[in-house]
Amino acid sequence: MSSSNDGYYSTVNPFENYDSRRTSRFPDTDAVEGSGGTGTRLIPDQRTDPKYPRLYNALTRRPDELFVSGGFVSEDLGAYVAALDPDTFEELWRTHIYIPDHWNYPGVAAVLADGNIYAIAGNRLASVHDGHSHEIVLPQHDGQGGAAYNGFVVNPDGVLFTKSMERGQPCEQNGLAQNLGLVCAMYHNIPSFLVAVDTTKSYLPIVAQVETPEFIMSRISTERRDGIDYIYLPGITKLWRYTFQAKGDGYAFERDLSWGPFDYVGTGMPGPAASILNDWVIIPNNGFMSQKEPFTIWAINIHDSSKTHKLMPLPAYPQCQIGSKPAVDPENSRVYLSDFYAGLALGLDFDPVSGFSKRWEQPQVMLSFWAVIGPPDNRQIVGTDYVTSGTESGQPEDQVVWRDADTGTEIARSGAADSHYNAQSVCPGFDGKFYYMGLPSNTLVELDTAMPQRQHD
């Protein structure tokens, strides 16, 4: 296995984006073979029983292990991590994080280098080992509906970085309405807590925390240079950067006054998480649906934030939404993203001197994360396509699509993974398997690219 070199377990899929730079590049995967003839290869699937509500991500550890995380902290028994037998889908154990009357927003789970699973939901962080968990409480402001810590990243020393979101009061938006309450959170603009937790100690001490200048909506990314961790935080107006390093007898966050803050939003809407492509931070605006102007994608140099490139790749589509962050391909210096309302997937080349150029464009209605798979000389990307007409069922279907990363050509496709699109990851597994999070169906869908194929006519 390749090492992600930033505190994760060495496995095919330890985390929703593989590494803390949020590349979504999964190096220990193989490219999927094409149809070998005309038509599209159809990938067969098997499914769990419908008992996994609000699935968010799947992750691996050893080949005979599969884990999923999902749920909301105030619904049913709460958010959960479950272990499944990857061959039979028998559930081996499940552990919950429950907080009554708390804001419900998706968290995440990952396997860190110590082999333990770490899960976050609401303002709880849990270390999970064989179904037993230890939780700590993360900071929040009183009377604001309960903080949601929407994900985390980790440094090579096992220090986990996470940040809060609070929707504020009053706010009647919950469930799936109004982007899970993010509209309220943007309106109230409550500063986020940026928190560092030392996972090398069993009691999970918080070793540093700081409040940010504005509400940080999207998930954070980090990279390390010269012993300093640099954390990138996409706010509702600017991209901020903090440093984390030893100070005296402890550690401290400090806002990096030498870099940014960078106005990536402009006259558009706040964007998704940033991805780090070699020496550049890649981030688009318009993570929410915008009707004012097409989205813009930015590259900001990590050494000098005055060095930037930008591109508006779809100028004819003012109604747009880049619902999930770009994936990046460091070896090929390429960026992959999709505009949900334009119904287009894009491959962009990036040159440090001349900036972005459009390499290919393909019709695809996608809100999920991309996964970048296969070796550098045979790159592929995997995402979803919400097909509303011409399906075998006659009903709208969310399907999974594999594309050649160099040309955008479709290589393979699943049947109906679910009846509605989602913004989750298509997660790689061992032996050519991929996992789709079925939200309306409450099922985990396994897509097996090694199974015998059939063709569309």
pLDDT tens track, the chain, 457 positions? 544 457 999 999 999 999 999 999 999 999 998 755 556 788 999 999 999 999 999 999 999 999 999 999 999 999 999 999 999 999 999 999 999 999 999 999 999 999 999 999 999 999 999 889 999 999 999 999 999 999 999 999 999 999 999 999 988 755 444 468 898 999 999 999 999 999 999 999 999 999 999 999 999 999 999 999 999 999 999 999 999 999 989 999 999 999 999 999 999 999 999 999 999 999 999 998 888 899 999 999 999 999 999 999 999 999 999 988 999 999 999 999 999 999 999 999 999 999 999 999 999 999 999 999 999 999 999 999 999 998 888 999 999 999 999 999 999 999 999 999 988 999 999 999 999 999 999 999 999 998 765 544 4
Instruction: Give the integer Cα–Cα distance in Å for 3 and 237.
Output: 35
| pTM (2 d.p.) | 0.95
Count of positions (residues) in the chain: 457
Question: Cα separation of 413 and 347, whole Å?
Answer: 18
258 and 288 Cβ atoms separated by less than 8 Å = no
Alpha-carbon separation of residue 182 from 44, 189, 224, 225, 428 (angstroms): 36, 10, 30, 33, 29
Q: Output the pLDDT for position 3.
A: 45
pLDDT of 5: 53
Give me the pLDDT at residue 172, please. 75
What pLDDT is recorded for position 175?
A: 47
| Residue 30, both tokens | 């193989």
Rounded Cα distance, 271 and 22, in Å:
15
CATH 3.90.1150.10 fits 41-455, yes or no: no
AA identity, residue 128: V
Q: What is the DSSP string of 176-217?
A: TTHHHHHHHHHHH-PPPEEEEEETTSTT--EEEEEE-SS-B-
